[in-house]
């Protein structure tokens, strides 16, 4: 209904001005429109962007509300938003303007909350700044140390307020950069590449914990940040069932391995069962049926110590000996089988971990569909026939080294197998993180000897496309493709290799972006 109201009043109107209430998140769009009598009148569309209290309000030429997308009655708020009422501004605290504040006024505001953290007070004192900017101002004023307002205003031995002066200098410098248009529009990302925050100035407080990137304008920054965040959220939503499946399977296998290891530890003393059986066999001449204990010399130990062996009084001496031999054979067989089952379980955990890592790197719905098909092929999901055409398989990720060598990386385990076992030439270089799930990386040499810089760049790509992408000094193994073999019956992506060398590199997302072809 509100949309129809806007069509009625604004469809023939002309946007003449856009105003902002200071630095508050309220925008006013002024339209020159024609009313029912053919006269020109000015209508205003107010966009109040305030979280769950956000609203769109159409205001007439007389300053009264025509309607709003969300009507607010007396039972909902002190400030009512209803048709026919005069439009009033939302209630707010008196705040200082970043471009025109006075040092004395700022000092007075901070002194009123001397025991509070400086960053939190700045958000409530200055108009239109974000928490990340307030934290950056505190970082600059305190030279990296956290400050309260009282500590900031403390007078030093030379009679000056060094911390407060540094804060005022930083705020004035930032305001000057914004006026001159030289401020840096900064995007903050985690080392995993996930968008975390953004700001209208350079951010240094996180050091190496965050990756920063500069954008050309505020529009470019906001478009890129929110589109990337929304795309990531959509992908995680689509892949939610696979994440839950992998976590559930991992927990189940981990519990099973723990039980099997307990059972394996119980078989460690199986040789004692065999010794008891042989001692009984050696002392059959001195035993009688119905005896409960056999006391005999243990000729397997020095000094022939006397041992007591429990007997089943319902069995003959020979049957008692056979019972111990049977238990020994069962324990030996259990030890062999449990060792095999534990190894299989650990290999399955490695495989699931590799699928999980590939799922976190998925960049499109096709990537998720391929992983879903792989899990169905391995029996973790029911096979199903998708409607329409099957998803088109994306090619391997392609990079170009600084020396002009092509570098390819698999998107998932099945593509890793294809890339390593079929696509790559025998003389190409294969790279993979050491005992860490990640992509198979192929450095195409075309018969040439790759420079050390190219090898280092390929190793950085392998580290960045692995579970250790947020770590430093990641070990990366590399060897010629001819030394990489896939064992018969191995799961997708699982290979063995020899003649390898290990490089230690630190992943860098900027290098990954720079080399991407």
What percentage of residues in the chain have a pLDDT greater than 90? Answer: 52
Whether 185 is covered by a domain: the verdict is: yes
CA angle 481, 486, 491 (to 5 degrees): 135
Number of domains in the chain: 4
Same domain, 219 and 262: no
Residue 80 lies in a domain: no
User: Which residue among 25, 49, 68 closes a domain?
Assistant: 68
Q: Is residue 404 in a domain?
A: yes
Query: Does one domain contain both 50 and 118?
Result: no
Contact 396, 408 (CB under 8 A): yes
Specify if 380 maps to a domain.
no
User: Does some domain include residue 96?
Assistant: no
Q: Which residues pair with 1 in a beta bridge?
A: none
Q: Is 340 left (phi over 0), alpha (psi -120 to 50) or beta?
A: alpha
**φ, ψ for residue 215, nearest 5 deg:** -115, 160
pLDDT above 90 (res 307): no
Shared domain check, 112 and 187: yes
Q: Is the pLDDT confidence value at 156 over 80?
A: no
Give the tens place of pLDDT for each residue, 380-416: 888 766 555 666 778 899 999 999 999 999 999 999 9
- With H, G, I as helix, E, B as strand and everything else as coil, classify residue 35: coil
Residue range 219-249, pLDDT digits in tens = 999 999 999 888 888 887 888 888 999 999 9
Is residue 452 within 8 A of residue 481, CB to CB? The reply is no
Q: Are residues 224 and 295 in the same domain?
A: no
**Predicted pLDDT at 77:** 81
Domain housing 345: 252-353
Pair 406, 510 in one domain: yes
Helix, strand or coil, per DSSP, at residue 385: coil
Q: Residue 373: inside a domain, yes or no?
A: no
CATH classification at residue 17: 2.30.310.10
Same domain, 107 and 61: no
pLDDT of residue 160: 74
Q: Is 284 part of any domain? A: yes
pLDDT of residue 356 exceeding 70: yes
- Residue 247: inside a domain: no
CA–CA distance, 455 with 449 (Å, rounded to integer)? 10
Residues 219 and 265 in one domain: no
- Of the candidates 464, 443, 465, 446, which has an alpha carbon nearest to the alpha carbon of residue 454? 443
**Same domain (yes/no): 122, 224:** yes
The residue from 236, 268, 283 where one domain ends is 236
Q: How far is CA 217 from the centre of its chain?
A: 27
Q: If you write DSSP's letter for every residue of 432-473 in order, what string do you get?
A: EETTS-B--EEE--TTS---HHHHHHHHHHHHHTBTTTT-SS
């Amino acid at each position: 209904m509100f949309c129809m109201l806007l069509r009625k009043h604004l469809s023939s109107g002309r946007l003449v001005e856009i105003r902002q209430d200071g630095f508050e998140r309220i925008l006013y769009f002024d339209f020159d429109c024609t009313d029912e009598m053919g006269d020109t009148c000015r209508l205003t569309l107010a966009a109040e962007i305030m979280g769950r209290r956000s609203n769109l309000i159409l205001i007439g030429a007389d300053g009264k509300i025509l309607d709003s997308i969300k009507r607010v009655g007396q039972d909902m708020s002190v400030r009512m938003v209803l048709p026919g009422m005069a439009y009033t501004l939302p209630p707010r605290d008196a705040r200082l303007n970043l471009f025109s504040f006075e040092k004395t006024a700022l000092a007075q505001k901070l002194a009123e909350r001397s025991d509070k953290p400086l960053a939190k007070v700045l958000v409530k004192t200055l108009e239109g700044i974000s928490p990340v900017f307030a934290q950056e101002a505190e970082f600059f004023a305190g030279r990296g140390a956290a400050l309260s307002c009282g500590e900031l205003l403390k007078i030093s031995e030379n009679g000056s307020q060094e911390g407060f002066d540094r804060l005022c200098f930083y705020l004035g410098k930032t305001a000057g950069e914004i006026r001159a248009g030289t401020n840096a529009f900064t995007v903050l990302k985690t080392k995993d590449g996930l968008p975390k925050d953004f700001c209208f100035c350079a951010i240094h407080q996180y050091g190496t914990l965050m990756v920063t990137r500069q954008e050309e304008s505020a529009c470019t920054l906001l478009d890129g940040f929110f589109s990337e965040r929304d795309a990531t959220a959509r992908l995680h939503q689509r892949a939610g069932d696979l994440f839950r499946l992998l976590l559930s399977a991992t927990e189940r296998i981990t519990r099973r391995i723990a039980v099997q290891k307990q059972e394996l530890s119980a078989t460690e003393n199986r040789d004692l069962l065999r010794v008891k059986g042989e001692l009984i066999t050696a002392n059959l001449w001195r035993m009688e049926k119905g005896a409960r204990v056999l006391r005999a010399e243990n000729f397997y130990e020095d000094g022939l110590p006397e041992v007591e062996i429990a007997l089943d009084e319902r069995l003959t001496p020979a049957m008692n000996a056979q019972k111990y031999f049977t238990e020994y054979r069962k324990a030996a067989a259990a030890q062999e089988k449990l060792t095999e089952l534990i190894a299989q379980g650990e290999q399955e955990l490695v495989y699931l971990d590799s699928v999980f890592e590939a799922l976190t790197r998925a960049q499109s719905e096709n990537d998720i569909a391929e992983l879903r098909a792989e899990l169905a092929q391995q029996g973790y999901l029911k096979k199903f026939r998708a409607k329409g055409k099957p998803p088109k398989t994306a090619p391997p990720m392609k990079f170009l080294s600084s020396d002009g060598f092509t570098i390819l990386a698999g998107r998932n385990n099945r593509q890793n197998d294809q890339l390593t076992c079929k696509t790559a030439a025998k003389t190409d270089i294969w790279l993979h993180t050491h005992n860490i799930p990640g992509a198979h990386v192929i450095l195409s040499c075309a018969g040439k000897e790759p420079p050390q810089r190219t090898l280092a760049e390929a190793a950085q790509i392998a580290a960045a496309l692995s579970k250790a992408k947020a770590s430093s000094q990641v070990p990366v193994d590399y060897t010629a493709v001819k030394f990489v073999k896939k064992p018969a019956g191995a799961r997708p992506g699982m290979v063995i290799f020899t003649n390898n060398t290990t490089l230690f590199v630190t992943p860098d997302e900027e290098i990954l972006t720079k080399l991407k072809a």
